[in-house]
Amino acid sequence: MAFVTEQLVVAIVAVNGLSKATTAHGDAAIAARLNEYYEVIERACAKAGGRVIKVIGDGIIVAFPAERCAAAVDALRGAQREANMFWQAVDGTCRVVIKAGSGPIAAGTMGPPGNQRSDIYGATLNEVFRLPPGEFALTPALTAAAG
């Protein structure tokens, strides 16, 4: 499969404190809540054209059209608020954190034969992963683009 380069807003959403909550409540109890959490994030991000690219545990990668930078940032803030309310009801130690950026991303189908899916990869996503920890962090490029 050929990859195309797209200009996107990309975000990483995660839940700080979920390991501690899992210890307190058990693997199955927390795992049972993850699909609800994914739905909260997907619903909030869809308002700005965002789509969930992939999930792994409490980590979610979301992508938005680059021309919707300001709306994407607003949607991410809303997603964080809603997801924090969701996790606070499960365990008061949980806090949703978001890192986001914008720029060129390689998009295409990835994975082993028979288990391929739509995915993204690139330096912009790596830059987002390297942002310092915090509740809500944006790359300089996204900050400028979102105004």
The three-point CA angle 83-44-139 to 5° equals 85
pLDDT of residue 147: 84
Q: Is the pLDDT of residue 1 over 70?
A: no
Q: Is the pLDDT of residue 4 over 90?
A: yes
> How far is the C-alpha of 63 from the C-alpha of 7, rounded, in Å?
10
Q: Is the pLDDT of residue 123 over 70?
A: yes
> How far is the C-alpha of 10 from the C-alpha of 140, rounded, in Å?
13
Q: Is the pLDDT of residue 114 over 90?
A: yes
Q: Is the pLDDT of residue 2 over 90?
A: no
Residue type, 93: T
Q: What are the extents of the domains in the chain?
A: 4-146
Residues 6+ apart with CB under 8 A from 122: 5, 103, 104, 105, 106
pLDDT of residue 101: 98
Q: Is the pLDDT of residue 51 over 70?
A: yes
**Under CATH, to which class is 4-146 assigned?**
alpha beta
Q: What is the pLDDT of residues 54-109, one digit of tens each?
A: 999 999 999 999 999 999 999 999 999 999 999 999 999 999 999 999 999 999 99
Residues 6+ apart with CB under 8 A from 98: 11, 12, 13, 14, 76, 79, 80, 135, 136, 137
Q: Mean pLDDT over all residues of the chain?
A: 95
pLDDT of residue 137: 97
- 88 three-state secondary structure: helix
